[in-house]
Structure 1
Amino acid sequence: MSDEDARDAAGPEGVRLQKVLAGAGVASRRVAEDMIVAGRVRVNGTVVTELGRRIDPESDLVDVDGTAVQLDQSKRYVVLNKPTGVVSSMNDDRGRPDLRQYTRDWPERLYNVGRLDADTSGLLVLTNDGELAHVLAHPSFGVTKVYIAKVEGRVTAQTIATLTRGFDLEDGPIRADKARLLSASNAGDGSLVELTLHSGRNRIVRRMMAAVGHPVVELVRRQFGPLHLGTLPVGRARELTKLERGALLTLSRRGAGDAAPTESQETE
């Protein structure tokens, strides 16, 4: 153990910032020192340039170049490509296939962030970070989700305009943040539509498409905030990369100080 490590272990005032950054996998201690001197590191929102700065990794928030750094290694972040036929629950009381089968590779007790309808496949986040789950799951924080919907009929440009302009459903007005037509059958028997939404109302994509005359045949969520499904196979789960964790934690910290949510958790 080096003299600096010994002081960190014994000192009640915290751990040196460069050691914390190195331990979090940001960079080597020497490179971390260069980052600090260059003004690229913030602690609790304030730029720190002194190499002697000590912090408490359990309570202080650190970011580098505006991206949050995960200091609490007890937190786990997993992305799942949920298949259809699986309910978004860790213990379904009706005996249907649930999410427990996808969490067996991790010792932590993980929970799903929000929900996907049993008939909807795609990106679902599993974590034991309650604060992050609260921010991500609730529409009042404005986290966007991107869906690909296979629908009946030939969708027109006018229909896409209606989706983005907005209209009324039985539970109030709704509009897509973005909408675009990906493909449409010349025979008029089906189309692929991409919808971006931050609303979390129940089965909202299906209800929107039905309201404009194009019921959903298949639905998949491809993106959740900064996370993309990519090439992850259906029914497979993986831990987030360091970059993905940073992006997710940055989003969570920005939303943590917002007002209390006013809508129910999203279900699609």
Structure 2
Amino acid sequence: GGGGRGGDSRGGSSYGGSRDGRGGGGGSFGGNRSGGASGGGRSGGGSSFGGDRRDDRRDDRQYPDRPLRPEERKYDRPEFGGGPHAYPNRGSAARKPSPAPRPRREGQGAPGDPRRQPQRTRELQGKIEDAVLARHEQGQGVKGGNEEGERLQKVLARAGMGSRRACEELIEQGRVSVNGQQVTEQGKRVQPETDEIKVDGLTVATQSFLFFALNKPAGVVSTMEDPDGRQCLGDYVNNRETRLFHVGRLDTETEGIILLTNHGELAHRLTHPRYGVTKTYLAAIQGPIPRDLGKTLAKGIELEDGYARADSFKVVSNVGKNYLVEVTLHEGRKHIVRRMLSEAGYPVEKLVRTAFGPITLGDQKSGWLRRLTNPEVGQLMNEVGL
């Protein structure tokens, strides 16, 4: 490099260096004769870009609270104040391996640990386990656990009486009875298969029973299957996995409500003459009709298989000679309404059954199948003493 007039080449490049710069070290942009910290003179050392590293160390001693550099703030700043050297485990101390944890003795745990208890002998532990097992086998693990059956509110909820909370409110209000005894406290257990459960005096169907009402169209035979291929009741319930059977029959040309269920005892009682379940019909006949026709039907009409009596009779409407009359009776003999009116001199042109016991047809469309509500099922069972 080109130094000053009397300089040697040891000091590296010099742009306008000192005249006698023998000890110059490093480059100097406009150095002076005495060379200080700018690096061009005899004692100068290092670059002139802001001095050397000793200045930084002096700054640390003079200004201990100076702001931390970004890398210090990120990695070396202590949690609660202090300088960059506040951590004790830095340098060689951080490289020392951590001491191995002291092994815990058997039967002990950390403070507050539920396992921190005196060690049990195997014999004592075996006795405790046998006692717990025996208690649970006897059903004494939970209060009332030794009782059989299901909780009453759960049975009611499954039967469709509402949510479990709503069923609990029914019990609290005293509206539920089991085998004739009123229940007002929670936790009562029942046997759904054998116990008689009632809500507001109506029996609740607690088992997996199905109850349907079908508005049978004209031309449908009252059987679940027909070997001749005619349209039958089974055509309306062929997607049901449970076998259903019809309650009573309707003539092929008679329309109206017919019940379907898998509850055998209920179906038997609804059709048995002993229980006298009423059926209501609307019949279209030709008039004029006498005023005492109702009394005549109530006294009884002699048929080939005995007398048949109507429970009630009334004229619903008439337009000229066309009359629509309502007949209610509890007998269930074949073609009973048609034969009675025909014997009285008024052949039936059209017949519709509008009610079976407490279950009415309402505005249900022809050919529609609907599931009975819980109150309707309760009314049916109450009708026949179930």
- TM-score band by shorter chain is 0.7 to 0.9
* Equivalence for 1:195: 327
> Which structure carries more relative contact order (alpha carbon 8 Å, separation 6+)?
1
Aligned to 1:159: 293
Q: Is the 8 A contact 1:8 1:15 kept in 2?
A: no
- What residue is the counterpart of 1:65 in the other structure? 200
Q: In 2, distance between residues paired with 1:102 and 1:9? A: 46
1:249 Cα deviation from its structure 2 partner: 2.7
Q: 1:239 to 1:34 in 2, by over 3 A?
A: closer
2:301 touches 2:344 (CA, 8 Å); kept in 1? Answer: no
Cα–Cα, structure 1 residues 184 and 68, in superposed 2: closer, same or farther, change >3 Å?
A: same
Residue 135 (structure 2) aligns with: none
Structure 2 CA distance for partners of 1:38 and 1:163, relative to 1, 3 Å: same
Mapped contact 1:223–1:229 kept (Cα < 8 A): yes
Higher strand share: 1
TM-score by length of 2: 0.60
| Residue 186 of structure 2 is aligned to residue 51 of structure 1 | yes
The Cα of 1:247 is off from its aligned counterpart by 1.7
Match of 2:174 in 1: 39
Aligned residues: 246
For the residues of structure 1 that align with 2:144 and 2:283, how far apart are their CA atoms? 54
> Are residues 1:134 and 2:268 paired?
yes
Helix, strand or coil: the match of 1:216? coil
Letter paired with 1:20: V
**Greater C-alpha radius of gyration:** 2
SS in 2 for 1:238: strand
Counterparts in 2 of 1:102-121, with a 5 A limit? Answer: 102-121=236-255
Counterpart secondary structure, 2:294: helix
On the 8 A contact 1:182/1:192 being kept in 2, the answer is yes
- Stretches of structure 1 lacking an aligned partner (at least 5 in a row): 1-5, 257-268
Residues 226-263 of structure 1, C-alpha deviation per residue, up to 9 Å, x if partnerless?
Answer: 111111111111111222222223324x0x5xxxxxxx
Residues 148/20 of structure 1: CA separation in 2 closer, same or farther (3 Å cut): same
CA RMSD of aligned residues (A): 2.2
Shift of 1:166: 2.2
Deviates more, 1:193-202 or 1:8-17: 8-17
Partner of residue 224, structure 1: 356
Give ranges in structure 2 of 5+ residues lacking alignment.
1-140
Q: Percent same amino acid at aligned positions?
A: 48
In the aligned structure 1, how far is the partner of 2:333 from the partner of 2:299? 18
Partner of 1:3 in structure 2? Answer: none
How does 1:201-240 map onto structure 2 within 5 Å? 201-240=333-372
SS at match of 2:249: coil
